[in-house]
Amino acid sequence: METGARAPLSERLGDRINPLVVKEIRQGLRTRLFWVCFGLMLMACVMLSLTAYADVRDSGNQPRGQVYFFTYFVCLGLVHFFIIPYSAYRSLAREREDETWVLLALTGLGPRRILRGKVTSFLAQAALYASAVGPFLLFSYYLNGIDLPTILTVLMLGAAWLVFLTVLGVCAATLADGRLGRAFVHFLVLGLLAGAVVVGLTSAFGISEGGSRLMREREFPYVIAVVLWLMLSYGWLLFEAAAARLALITEDYSRGPRRALVAQMLLSAVGVAVLWWRQGQEREVAAVAGIAGCLHLTVTGLFLISDVDGMARALRAKTRGWSLLRPGAVRGFRLMVLLIGGWALFCCALHLLSDDTQHNWRSMLYATVAAAAYPLLYFSVALLVAKMPRSERMTSPAAVRVLFIALAGLASVLPPLLAVLMDEEADNGLINLLNPIVGLVNFATHENQISAPKMTAGMLYFLCGVAALAAFAADRILVERERRVHAS
Amino acid sequence: MSLLQVKALRRDYGSLRAVDDVSFELEAGTILGFIGPNGAGKSTTMRIIATLDTPTAGEVLLDGQSLVDSPDKARPLIGYMPDRYGTYDDVTVWEFLDFFARAYGLKGAARHKRVASVMEFTGLNPLKDKLTSALSKGMKQRVALGRTLLHDPKLLILDEPADGLDPRARIELRELLRALADQGKAVLISSHILTELAEICDTCAIIEQGRLLATGKVADLLAQSQASGGTELTVRLAAGADGEAASARAEKLLLEQPRVGQVAREAEALRVRLELEPGATREQVDEAAARLLAALVGAGVPVCAFSHRELNLEDAFMTVTKGRVA
C-alpha cells in the first residue's frame, strides 16, 4: 500500500538543518543592516577596482596587487571582524533580554545546539559577504605583487579570526544578567571588537606586506599553527562556557567546558612535546610551556573552582567520586588540582629528559613547580575563606573570584613592603616565599655568582607542602558544604 | 490520579524562602488559578513546575513521573508561557510557529499540519504572513499561546496571560482556555485580575509569602470566605421619608436583631453585617436576611431596596491574605 508521497529534497534537507540557522538567516536577510553593509561593501569594491584599473594603466603595469588586496580585505574585514560578531552578540543578548531564551531551552534543543545554530547562521551570513568580495580578491592577484600562498594564508587566518570573534560575541552575550551589567558588557564588546578589527587588519597588512619573505621563514608555519590552535581551542572553550552559562540548572552544564579544558590541555601537551622534540629537546620549551600553561589554568581554574555547591537532584544519582566533569565546586576544584598538577608533572618530565648542558636548569625546574603551587595555594585559601564560615555571604561564584584576586593581590604587594620595613631587599626570598609574583620570579632566578638557584629546594618543598595542605583543607570544606546542600 | 501533583515544595534562595511547603493537585481537563500578591512565590512555583528551576525540597509529579528527577522526560508534556510573550522581530507569524515546531522536532508534513492546526485553533490564519512585531498585544498573546500548543502538551502553565489585554482579547483568551480544558488539557494560570480568574478557573490556589493559604474549588473558597468574613446586606430607605429619623430608627431596630454584628449608616443606605456560624450555608444566610427584612417592614420602616452583596474572588483573596511579601 502507498504510504504517502516522499517530501521534496529541499524539504528533507531543511528538516536536517538546525532550526536556529533557518530562523536567523530568515531574520538576518530582512534586516536593513545586512543590505546596507552588503551594498556599501560591494560599492566600495567596485570603486576600488576602477581605481586599480586606472592606477595600473597609468603606472605602466607596475605590480599593485599587494596594495589592492589589502584594501579589499579592509572592506571585508570591517564586516567580518566587527559587524558579524557584533550582530551575533546582539542576537543572543536580545534572546536573553526578551526571555525568548527560556522558550528555546524548553524545546529540548539544548544550549549547545542553540549556540551552534546562532554561530553557524552568522557564519553563513559572513560567507555571503565573502562571496561578494571573493572575485575582487582574486582580481588583486592578477594585478601582480602578491602570491597565492600569501592570499590563502591571510584568508585562512581571517576566517579563523572571524569564527573566534563570533564565538566571543556569543559568549559575551551570556555574561551579564542585570541591566547595568549588560550595558557594561555592551561597551566592552564594542571596544574589544574595535581592537579586534585593528589587530586583524594589522596582521593582514603585515602578512601581505611580508609576503614571500615570511613564507620562506622556518618558524612561520609554527607561528601560524600556534595562532590557529589558540583561536580554535579558546573558541571552543568560550563556546562551551557560553553553553554552560545558558544551560538550565537541571542540566549537566559543567560537562562541556570541563571536557573542552581537559581536551585543550591534553592536545597542548602533545603539541608541546612535538615542539620540544623538534627544537632539539630544549629546556626553555618545557619552562615556557610550564609557566604559560599554569597561568592559563589559573585563569580558567578560577571559573572552575567557583561553581556553586552541589547539583540538581536529577544529576546526583549518576554522579560518582570520579565524575569530575559534573557540576559542583568540589568536583571543579579537584579537576583543577589534577590539571595543574598533571601539567606541572608533564613539564617537569620534559625538563628531566632535556639536554643538561644549561647551567640554570634547576631554577627553570623550580619555576615550573612553583607556577603550579602558587595558584593551588591561593585557590585553596580563597575557598577556605569563602566557604568555611557557615554564613552564605561570600559563597557566590563572583565572591570566590573576587576573594582569590584580593588574596593573591595582597600576597603580591604586602611581603615586599614588609621586607623594606625590615631593612631587607624588597625581593627577599624568604619573606616573599608565599608571594605569587615575586616568589615565582625568585624561583626562576639563577645566581650567577654562586652558580646556583636563588631559592633552595627546601623552600620549594615548603611551598608545595603548604599548597598541598591548603588544598586538602579546601577539599574537605567543599565536601562538607555539598553534603549540607544535598541534605537540605 | 491527578495529572499534576505538587508535594511539600520548597525553594530557598540563600536565607530567603521563596516557596514554603506548597502542595496542590491539578486534574486533566481543569483550570487552576494561582493567586497571590507580587513576590508571593507564584512565578517560582510555576518555573519549578516548568522545569526551569529545581526545588530545594519537595516533589512534583507529572503524569506520575517526577519532573525533579527526570526533567527531560517531563518537558514534552509541558507548555509554558511566561509573562513576556517572547516573539521575534522580522519574522512572520507562520515563520515563528514553524521555527518552534522545528525546534520541538516536528518534521516535514507533520510539522506543516501541526502549525496549520494550531493557527486555525488560535484564529491566526488571517495573520499568517504578518510580521509578529506588527501585531497587537492580544494577537501576540495568541501567537505565544499557539507556540505553547505546538507539541501538544498535557499541562499548560500560563504566567499572567491576561496582563495588559483589552476586554475583547481577554474574553477571547478565556474562550480559548476553556476550549483547551475541554480537550483534556490541565491549565495552571496565574493572574492579578481575580474576577477574570473566577470566570475561567475550576479551582484556585491562594499563595502568600511562599505559603499556600487556601486551595479548592472557587465556590468553596467563596463559601469559606463568606463564613469567616460574614455577609453584608444593604438596606435602602424610601426617599422623602423622614430621612435622618427613619435611618436612626432602622439602625436601632437592626442592632436589636439576633446575628447582626455591625450597622453602618451611609448617605442613603444602611450596611448591615450578619455574623453567622462558621460553615453557614447559603439557605441559612437567606433565612437570616428574610427575618431582618420582615422585622423592618413590620416596624413600619420605609424600605425600598434590600440587597445581599455577592462575594467574589477578590473578597476571598482579601480575607485569606494579609498583604505580606516573602
What pLDDT is recorded for position B326? 46
How close, in Å, is residue B197 to chain A by CA atoms? 25
Question: Å from B91 to nearest chain A CA?
Answer: 6
A106 vs B70, B80, B95: nearest CB: B80
Rounded-to-integer distance, Cα B187 and Cα B176, Å: 11
User: Is B232 in the same domain as B202?
Assistant: no
C-beta separation of B60 from A91 below 8 A: no
DSSP run (H or E) holding B12: strand B4-13
User: B168, B184, B216: which is the final residue of a domain?
Assistant: B216
Residue B156 and residue B45 in one domain: yes
Q: Stretch B299-324: mean pLDDT, rounded?
A: 74
Chain-centroid distance, C-alpha B44: 17
**Among the listed residues A208, A216, A207, A200, the one whose alpha carbon sits nearest the alpha carbon of residue A63:** A208
Q: Is ipTM beyond 0.85?
A: no
Contacts of residue B81, defined as CB under 8 A and 6 or more positions apart, other chains included, come to B144, B145, B147, B148, B156, B157, B158, B159, B161
Residue B113: enclosing H or E segment and its boundaries? helix B108-121
Mutate to test the interface with B, among A10, A115, A250 (most CBs of B within 10 A): A250
Eight-state DSSP code of residue B92: B
What Cα–Cα distance (Å) separates residue B189 from each residue in A339, B11, B163, B193, B323? 49, 20, 12, 11, 21
Pairing of strands B78-81, B155-159: parallel
- Interface subset of B 138-167, CB within 8 angstroms of A: 147, 151
pLDDT digits (tens, 9 = 90+) for B215-250: 888 777 776 666 665 677 888 888 765 677 888 888
pLDDT number for residue A1: 40
Per-residue pLDDT for B78 more than 90? Answer: yes
Beta bridge partner(s), residue B273 = B232, B262
pLDDT of B49 higher than 80: yes
DSSP-based three-state secondary structure for A10: helix
Instruction: Give the model's pLDDT for residue A3.
Output: 46
Whether B115 and B38 have beta carbons less than 8 Å apart is answered as: no
Instruction: Evaluate whether residue B222 is within a structural domain.
Output: no
Q: Are residues B197 and B238 in the same domain?
A: no
Q: pLDDT band at B86, cuts 50/70/90?
A: confident
- Total domains in chain B come to 2
B308 belongs to a structural domain:
yes
Do the domain assignments include residue B20?
yes
Please indicate if any CB of chain A lies within 8 Å of the CB of B86: yes
Contact criterion met (CB < 8 Å) for A248 and B95: no
Query: Among A7, A19, A27, whose Cβ lies nearest the Cβ of B91?
Result: A27
**Residues B246, B206: one domain?**
no
Q: Are residues B108 and A11, on separate chains, in Cβ contact within 8 Å?
A: yes
User: Is residue B269 within 8 angstroms of chain A, CB to CB?
Assistant: no
First to last CA, chain B: 32
Contact yes or no for A85/A165 (Cβ under 8 A): yes
Q: How far is B205 from chain A (nearest CA, A)?
A: 25
- B73 CB within 8 Å of a chain A CB: no
Identify which of B68, B90, B109 has the shortest CB distance to residue A314.
B68
**B323 close contact with A: CB closer than 8 A:** no
Angle CA B151–B145–B194, to nearest 5:
130
A22 contacts chain B (CB < 8 A): yes
B84 touches chain A (CB under 8 A): yes
B235, B312: one domain:
yes
Whether A22 and B70 lie within 8 Å, measured CB to CB: no
Beta-sheet pairing, B269-274 with B303-308: unpaired
Domain edges within chain A = 16-216, 248-488
- Which SS3 state, helix, strand or coil, does residue B21 take? strand
Which class for B305: exposed (0-12), middle (13-18), buried (19 or more C-beta within 10 A)? exposed
Q: B80 and A103: CB-CB below 8 Å?
A: yes
Q: Is A25 on the interface with B (CB under 8 A)?
A: no
Q: Is the pLDDT of residue B312 over 70?
A: no
Same domain? For B42 and B157 the reply is yes
Confirm or reject contact between B12 and chain A (CB < 8 A): yes
Whether A484 and chain B come into contact, CB under 8 Å, resolves to: no
Same domain, B145 and B238: no
Q: B87: which chain A residues are within 8 Å (Cβ-Cβ)? A: 100
How many other CB atoms sit within 10 Å of the CB of residue A316? 14
Residue with cell 528533507: A12
A chain contacts of residue B86, beta-carbon cutoff 8 Å? 98-100, 102-103
Assess whether B201 and B267 both reside in one domain.
no
What was the pLDDT predicted at B240?
A: 66
Say which residue, A120 or B14, is predicted with more confidence. Answer: A120
Structure confidence by residue, pLDDT tens digits, B119-165? 999 888 899 899 988 888 888 888 999 999 999 999 999 988 877 77
What radius of gyration do chain B's Cα atoms show?
25
CATH of the domain at B312: 3.30.70.1430
Quick check: B156 and B185 in contact, CB under 8 A?
A: yes
Coil/strand/helix, residue A241: helix
Question: Which of B21-25, B221-225, B321-325 has maximum average pLDDT?
Answer: B21-25
Q: Is the pLDDT of residue B316 over 90?
A: no
* Average pLDDT of the residues of chain B: 84
What gap in Å lies between CA A96 and CA A225, rounded to an integer?
36
Classify residue B221: in a domain, yes or no.
no
pLDDT tens digits for range B244-290: 788 888 888 888 888 887 888 877 788 888 777 766 677 777 888 88
**Residue-level pLDDT, tens digit, chain A, 488 residues:** 444 556 677 777 778 888 999 888 888 888 899 999 999 999 999 999 999 888 888 887 778 888 899 999 999 999 999 999 999 999 999 988 888 888 888 898 888 999 999 999 999 999 999 999 999 998 888 888 888 888 999 999 999 999 999 999 999 999 877 888 889 999 999 999 999 999 999 999 998 888 777 777 878 888 898 899 999 999 999 999 999 998 888 888 899 999 999 999 999 999 999 988 888 888 888 889 999 999 999 999 999 999 988 888 888 877 887 889 999 999 999 999 999 999 999 999 998 888 766 677 788 889 999 999 999 999 999 999 998 887 777 888 889 999 999 999 999 999 999 999 998 888 888 999 999 999 999 998 888 777 788 888 999 999 999 999 999 999 999 999 998 888 77
Closest alpha carbon to B22 in B61, B74, B58: B58
The SS3 of residue A217 is coil
> How many residue contacts between A and B have a Cβ separation below 8 Å?
87
In chain A, the residue whose alpha carbon lies closest to the alpha carbon of B67 is: A314
Q: Domain check: are B62 and B95 in the same one?
A: yes
Domain that includes residue B118, residue range? 4-216
Distance from CA of B190 to the nearest CA of A (A): 18
How far A19 CA sits from the closest chain B CA (Å)?
A: 6
d(CA A120, CA A112): 12
**Is the residue at B169 inside a domain?**
yes
% of chain B exceeding 90 in pLDDT: 27
- Cα A265 to Cα A224, A294, A334: the distances in Å are 19, 10, 16
Residue B326, in any domain of the structure: no
pTM exceeds 0.95 = no
What's B179's domain CATH number?
3.40.50.300
Q: Provide the pLDDT for residue A2.
A: 41
Task: Give the residue, B57 or B320, on which the prediction is more confident.
Answer: B57
- The answer to whether residues B78 and B159 belong to one domain is yes
- Describe chain A by its helix, strand, coil percentages, rounded to 5: 75, 0, 25
The Cα B316–Cα B228 span in angstroms is 10
CB of A394 less than 8 A from some CB of B: no
Same domain, B207 and B235: no
Identify all chain B residues contacting A125, using CB atoms and an 8 Å cutoff. Answer: none
- A107 and chain B: CB distance < 8 Å anywhere? yes
Chain B's closest residue to A31, CA to CA, is: B90
Nearest chain A alpha carbon to B145: A103
Q: Are residues B211 and B236 in the same domain?
A: no
Contact B12 A250 (CB under 8 A): no
Note the pLDDT of residue B286: 81
